[in-house]
Structure 1
Amino acid sequence: MTRTLRSGSASGGGALYVFAVCRDLDPDSLGRSPGLTGEEPPRVLPLGARLSAVVQTVRADDFTDEVWQERLADQEELGRYARAHHSVVTAVAGSAPTVPLPMATLYHGDGSARAALASQAARFDRALDRVAHHAEWGVKVFLSPSMARDHTSREVAAAAPSDRARPAVGSGLAYLNRRRNIQENRQRRHVEAGLRADAVDEAFRRVAAEARRLRLHSASASEDQGVQVLNATYLVAEARSAELHRLAESLREPGDVRVTLSGPWVPYSFVGEVEG
């Protein structure tokens, strides 16, 4: 949950920006990261015996509701904040189990942040148990452009009635036959694509601890790569990363299906039950 500050609250003063909650974090893992270039560099805020938060003091006036809404409308500025946020989270996740919090998770100071986050210690512990020694990997599957074109060609061919027993030009029967053939080919293509996506997804799920299927990208976003039939993310134990790569390579053999593997990433997709 994004926590911006109400206009005028702590005006001119500082606010505490929270990047993530970690377990057994070594403060040196922060290095010299500037974070959001706030009033001071990122630091560690202890929450208990083993939990700590990665925080940074920022100007409260930079994170009011009004200012944040303006930032959301400025893609360049929003991208800068997103990269800075991700850079800090990635740095600490490389040395300790980490639950990243959404951008613009803010509190009025150390005390309020510590009280709010420590009250959710049990939820953080569950999420940290889940992602410890795991990473997130993205998998996308595309039907090759040639296969997509082949489907289209077959659809057009099926829509054209044969010379034999062809209905009279302009007849309602000819129109209905064309429409039925187009619909049947579209349904067949949909079923075939679904079966291919399911087979790849099932193979990766056998390696993963958890998995999520995401919304497919639009045709315009992936048309140069082919038709996307699977967009998924998997939580995979570090000890099985080599197995994951072997599986991806085996599925990249020449054919009409292309599999792309990306990662490893901080497991953002598998800590959704925890909010700052």
Structure 2
Amino acid sequence: MTRPPRTARPHKGNEGKHRDKTEHGPAVPRTQVTYVFAVCRDVDPATVRDLPGIDDTEPVRALPLGTLTAVVQSVPAADFTDDAWQSCLSDQRELERYARAHHDVVSAAAAGSPTVPLPLATLYHGDERARQALAEQADRFHAALRRTARHAEWGVKVYAPAEPPVDPDPVAPSPVTQPDGTRPTPGAGLAYLERKRGMHQRRERRHDDALRTAEAVDAEVSRLATAFRRLRPHGAPQTGERDVQVLNATYLVADHRAAELVQLTRTLQERTGTRIELSGPWVPYSFVGEV
């Protein structure tokens, strides 16, 4: 399985454009700029050469950085001016296109070489400027490559069952005498409040049970992982689910333990009776640090 690009957060929140550090103010619409997808160790240029990348009029290529290699493409500078990029960010379909193209190149590079993916729209004013700026970060790239080599990123989500449908709230008894001349049964108001309180307590217990299950799942998966990150659970509008997401976490797992992870999540789901969603393996976007 490969990780689908996320148009809202193509690279864990790095959806903004990373500009050349020498640039000040709006982007100058030069003919071309150098778009950097990733930095790799020992990447085979043939693995990315035939990909369309961001702009299929220019090939995706390898740019040597001493002991490392950047995967780059020359792209029209006019497509990445401030105005052009802001327009792209507001166009979900266009942003999806960029994110998917970026992801495809990163995934192809990572399939054959340890890879540090760079954020969407990392740009430099030409190959020489890209080579200079990236070479200055060589130590950080090497550290990230050592940390993630022969590892993949996996996501685990745990869901609490949606609240079961309930009858409409019982109508509180009126203190007014009924048409037949009778008055409400003594204690009817207290019984109404007790029913309401009981419904609330049951909801709280179900939610607390789900949170305890999520913590137990996270603890067991974390013991298997090299590193992990807890993310903010997605709400129903984001997931499109009625069930409530109570754990959204990502784990860096050694390749030789992938089958163990799959079996563990199945066992945890059977043991807890809770829906657990496992996704991956992905390029380890979440564990390369800020580069």
TM range (shorter): 0.7 to 0.9
Give the number of equivalent residue pairs: 261
**Given the alignment, which residue of 99, 114, 119 partners 1:82?**
99
SS in 1 for 2:119: coil
**Given the alignment, which residue of 20, 39, 47 partners 2:38?**
20
Is 1:258 paired with 2:275?
yes
**Given the alignment, which residue of 101, 105, 117 partners 2:122?**
105
SS in 1 for 2:69: strand
Shift of 1:253: 2.2
Equivalent pair of 1:38/1:57 in contact (CA under 8 Å) = no
Equivalent pair of 1:36/1:84 in contact (CA under 8 Å) = yes
**1:179-221 deviations in whole A, cap 9, x for unaligned?**
6545533432332111010011111111111111111121344
Shift of 1:178: 5.8
Match of 1:167 in 2: 187
Q: Which is further off, 115-124 or 213-222?
A: 213-222
Classify 1:195/1:254 alpha carbon distance in 2 versus 1 (closer, same or farther; 3 Å): closer
Match of 1:70 in 2: 87
- Aligned residues: percent identity? 54
Alpha-carbon separation, structure 2, partners of 1:223 and 1:167: 43
Equivalent pair of 2:49/2:59 in contact (CA under 8 Å) = no
Alignment of 1:195-214 (within 5 A): 195-214=212-231
Match of 1:139 in 2: 156
Q: Which is further off, 107-116 or 34-43?
A: 34-43
Alpha-carbon separation, structure 1, partners of 2:239 and 2:75: 39
Unaligned 5+ segments in structure 1 are: none
Q: Which is further off, 245-254 or 200-209?
A: 245-254
RMSD after superposition: 2.8
Classify 1:181/1:252 alpha carbon distance in 2 versus 1 (closer, same or farther; 3 Å): closer
Match of 1:230 in 2: 247
Equivalent pair of 1:127/1:271 in contact (CA under 8 Å) = yes
SS in 1 for 2:106: helix
Alpha-carbon separation, structure 2, partners of 1:91 and 1:182: 52
Is 1:37 paired with 2:52?
no
Match of 2:7 in 1: none
SS in 2 for 1:253: helix
Classify 1:232/1:168 alpha carbon distance in 2 versus 1 (closer, same or farther; 3 Å): same
Q: Which is further off, 20-29 or 254-263?
A: 254-263
Match of 1:192 in 2: 209
Shift of 1:252: 3.3
Alpha-carbon separation, structure 2, partners of 1:3 and 1:28: 27
Match of 2:266 in 1: 249
Unaligned 5+ segments in structure 2 are: 1-13, 174-184
Shift of 1:74: 0.7
Q: Which is further off, 184-193 or 73-82?
A: 184-193
Equivalent pair of 2:37/2:106 in contact (CA under 8 Å) = yes
Q: Which has the higher helix share?
A: 1
Alpha-carbon separation, structure 2, partners of 1:67 and 1:211: 36
**Given the alignment, which residue of 11, 18, 31 partners 1:3?**
18
Match of 2:71 in 1: 54
Equivalent pair of 1:38/1:56 in contact (CA under 8 Å) = no
Equivalent pair of 1:90/1:266 in contact (CA under 8 Å) = yes
Classify 1:8/1:100 alpha carbon distance in 2 versus 1 (closer, same or farther; 3 Å): closer
Query: What amino acid maps onto 1:14 in structure 2?
Result: Q
SS in 2 for 1:273: coil
SS in 1 for 2:121: coil
Match of 1:129 in 2: 146
Alpha-carbon separation, structure 2, partners of 1:41 and 1:187: 57
Query: What amino acid maps onto 1:23 in structure 2?
Result: R
Equivalent pair of 1:38/1:58 in contact (CA under 8 Å) = no
